[in-house]
Amino acid sequence: GPVAETFRVIRGVVTEEYVRSTQGVFQFDLSGDGGGTWYIDLKTKGGSTGFGKPPVAADVVMSMSSADFVKMFT
């Protein structure tokens, strides 16, 4: 779906530079189609994205609809 595709694209652009400069973990609690808990880890070496809770504690937790999430990143 659109949420999974958005995270696939994000994963493709995460670099060590982003991780070094950001040093944050973002958790997204999404409602609606493709919803659930997703994360972007820009703190752990290499960075990562995925479905479920982040591997380390989130610095920021955002709750929104999956449609708004996709709009925010496109």
Parse the chain into domains and list their residue ranges: 2-65
Give the pTM. Answer: 0.93
Model confidence at 3, pLDDT cuts 50, 70, 90, reads: very high
pLDDT tens by residue, 18-69: 999 999 999 999 999 999 999 999 999 999 999 999 999 999 999 999 999 9
Pick the CATH number of 2-65 from 3.40.630.30, 3.30.1050.10, 3.30.70.100, 3.40.50.620: 3.30.1050.10
Secondary structure of the chain: what % helix, strand, coil (to 5)? 35, 35, 30
Decide: 39 and 25 in contact? Cβ < 8 Å. Answer: yes
* Residue 25, H or E segment: strand 24-31
